[in-house]
Copies of this chain bind each other. A is one copy, B any other.
Amino acid sequence: MPAGEDAVEVLGLEARAGADDHSSIRLWLRLLSAANLIKAEVQARLRRTFGTTLARFDLLAQLDRHPEGLPMGALSKRMMVTAGNITRLVDQLELEGLVTRWPDPEDRRAVRVRLTERGRRQFRRMAAVHEAWIVELFGALSQGERDQLHSLLASLKRSVVQALGQTGGGSA
């Protein structure tokens, strides 16, 4: 149990943020705790139900969308994790026979990763259940609320990307 259905104040700052313009901090803490709450639950269910992890599920999901396979670097970018991490995840999944590596014919540095038939079957089975979980967890929100939240999160991401661009914090 990832401990804490009632843990609300993720960075312990929510109380310090009572004054006036702390609204950004409070918002950030709430965003983080909401994401953590759902992520922990999904992760726990993936483990209990399928004996797998969110990282593996995520990797399989990326590959399911690209039957022709993806180079490691593309997986790294899409999953927002480092290349070293991808290497080891693919190592494991390859051992389990869910994915295969094969050399990119056009770039001898590159390795392409592709789902095996078994990997595809297994992923599809899990994906259906996973989607039902998410629908369940988000079920008490109306369609309007979901749309609004979706759009506000897009604005938030734009805000972050913009701030990163200005300070040169990003990679671009």
Query: Which A positions have Cβ atoms within 8 angstroms of B?
Result: 1-13, 15-16, 21-28, 30-41, 44-45, 57-58, 61-65, 76-83, 127, 131, 134-141, 143, 145-150, 152-164, 167, 169-172
Contact = CB atoms under 8 A, between A and B. Distances in A.
A140 B127 contact: no
B25 A134 contact: yes
Contacts of A163: 136-137, 139-140
Chain A contact surface mostly: helix
Contacts of A170: 5
Contact of A79 (B7, B147, B162, B172): B7
A25 B117 CA distance: 25
A10 B76 CA distance: 11
5 contacts: A4-B76, A9-B78, A34-B156, A41-B160, A140-B155
